[in-house]
Structure 1
């Protein structure tokens, strides 16, 4: 009886220790992968923000059309990315880009037939920049509250 316990107990301790270390390592790796993915998403959001501002301040119709055809798929990609991340804000809702898309596309001059260039200090551009900043801030705080407890 004691002979088998002397063999089994250390073996079980080694197995449980290995399981704990493996679980903790997997958690750490997942957290690092999510952080890298989030960082790439934030850089992509910043690129989209530059394109959106360029779209609204340009007077050239061809350039505006080129930018809008680049922005629409980028917004869809961001929405898919945020669905993949599934980071929850302080209210428990998954952070999404719906508000951002609304600010960009519901300004009245998005893809309009007679696009008018806006001034760089226009309220519409300010609201769009605020929406980008709020989304990035929400992502950062959601990540922090999820992984850095």
Structure 2
């Protein structure tokens, strides 16, 4: 949601492209898949909207448009501006955070549950998702989202950390 952070990632080379339009994002993903081109696309908006749109595309067309997914949402301090709920725009979220932190917290927790539900649906259909080590899964679990690894201790998450997955 914060354009400054997105532009920084683009400048650092982490993102090949930036778009603030969901239709454009979907079109670029389809084009990249068709042409078998790797694409790192940053969305300037709330990532929950993007994940849910990807689920919509899957549900309506049967196309899983993302093979690999991760999330760099900062959840180390989710209730003090590290995470902005999908129900509000960025400026509206900043205002609510200042005027009613309790309501902001509730919306963050609702948003985290939606966030994870979309990722889970895509992962269940074959997208490989890993945690970036940003407390996303921890905060999603605290919010009541389904992130526990099936058949394991509830301190184990269903998605690996990129560090754990790569480094072992």
**Which structure shows the bigger proportion of residues in helix conformation?**
1
The structure having more radius of gyration, on CA atoms, is 1
TM-score range, shorter chain: 0.3 to 0.5
- Per the normalisation by structure 2, the TM-score is 0.30
TM-score (norm 1): 0.32
| Structure with the largest fraction of strand | 2
